[in-house]
Amino acid sequence: MDNPASWEALSLAAQHIGMEMTHWGPDVARMEIELQDIHKNRHGIPHGGYYAMMLDTAMGYAGAFTGDPEVKKMTMTLNMSINYLSRPKGTRLIASGKRIGGGAKTFFTEGIIVDETGEVIATGQGTFRVRSGV
């Protein structure tokens, strides 16, 4: 397939909130959500849990790319830290994850969420493990 982002469906939870994978390649992944009322907290801005879910997904997928849609690599989050920096000015959240180090089984990532205006919303760091026996 020419579009790695179409190789694998996201989890039902990610699909339920409207998350889409818009890029997936070696050591990188990008997820996007078009903001809707269901994403808002009582202050009228997106709930931080959506940011966490987007960063977790983007960073985990950043370490799971194999280059072959028939060869799956599953990962699990060992640790994740998030910095909430701003509120969106636009209507679309864009989460990018990048694998920045580690080995064959445990790897380290960083992530960022921006909106389509370029406003930096949140950043994250994570440690992930490649699952065996999957």
- Taking only the tens place, the pLDDT of each residue in 78-122 is 999 999 999 999 999 999 999 999 999 999 999 999 999 999 999
In angstroms, the CA 63 to CA 23 distance is 13
In angstroms, the CA 34 to CA 111 distance is 18
Q: Note the pTM of the prediction, 2 decimals.
A: 0.93
- Establish if 7 belongs to a structural domain: no
- Taking only the tens place, the pLDDT of each residue in 7-41 is 778 899 999 999 999 999 999 999 999 999 999 99
Q: Domain span at residue 99?
A: 18-130
- Establish if 37 belongs to a structural domain: yes
Q: Considering only CA atoms, which of 84, 41, 77 is closest in space to residue 58?
A: 77
- Establish if 104 belongs to a structural domain: yes
- Establish if 6 belongs to a structural domain: no
Structural domains in the chain (count): 1
Question: Domain with 113 in it: what CATH number?
Answer: 3.10.129.10
Q: Considering only CA atoms, which of 56, 74, 53 is closest in space to residue 65?
A: 74
In angstroms, the CA 87 to CA 21 distance is 22
